[in-house]
């Protein structure tokens, strides 16, 4: 059976800060997947509920929720590298321990790495990913 890709990966230049987030700070916030399902207790080092957000873009809402709800864990999935790098930098500025990020296809992650009944909330927003001047 042919695999369906659930996203179109946009590429572009990354700022120096985004590169730092993606490569230097990744060990603090990034989740590198293995063949196993995720164990949220081990990942977050606590037993708080987990909210998953798919396609967080530049991460503004996910960052704000993580700051406002320190007793809730947040896991974001995004393939847009600039957004991932930006969110990691912001999370580091706020020293957040309740936020982790996966830079993979959400379908793959959901099918193979998220245990059944392990999420307290699932968020999927549909913002305009490409701001167009003529529309605004």
Active site residues: 128
Cα–Cα dist 31/61, whole Å: 19
The answer for residues whose C-beta is within 8 angstroms of residue 4's C-beta and 6 or more apart is 107
Scanning 5-132, the segments in alpha helix (DSSP H) are: 16-19, 26-29, 40-44, 60-68, 81-93, 106-112
CA 128, 133, 134, 136 torsion-angle sign: positive
């Amino acid at each position: 059976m042919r695999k369906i890709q659930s996203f179109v990966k946009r590429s572009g230049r990354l700022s120096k800060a985004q590169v730092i987030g993606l490569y230097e700070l990744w060990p603090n916030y990034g989740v590198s997947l293995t063949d196993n399902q995720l164990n949220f207790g081990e990942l977050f080092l606590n037993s708080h509920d987990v909210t998953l957000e798919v396609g967080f873009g530049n991460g503004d809402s996910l960052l704000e929720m993580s700051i406002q709800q320190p007793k809730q864990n947040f896991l974001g999935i995004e393939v847009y590298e600039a957004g991932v790098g930006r969110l990691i930098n912001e999370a580091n500025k706020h020293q957040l321990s309740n936020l982790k990020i996966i830079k993979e296809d959400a379908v793959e992650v959901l099918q193979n790495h998220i245990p059944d009944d392990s999420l307290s909330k699932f968020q999927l927003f549909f913002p305009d990913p490409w701001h167009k001047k003529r529309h605004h």
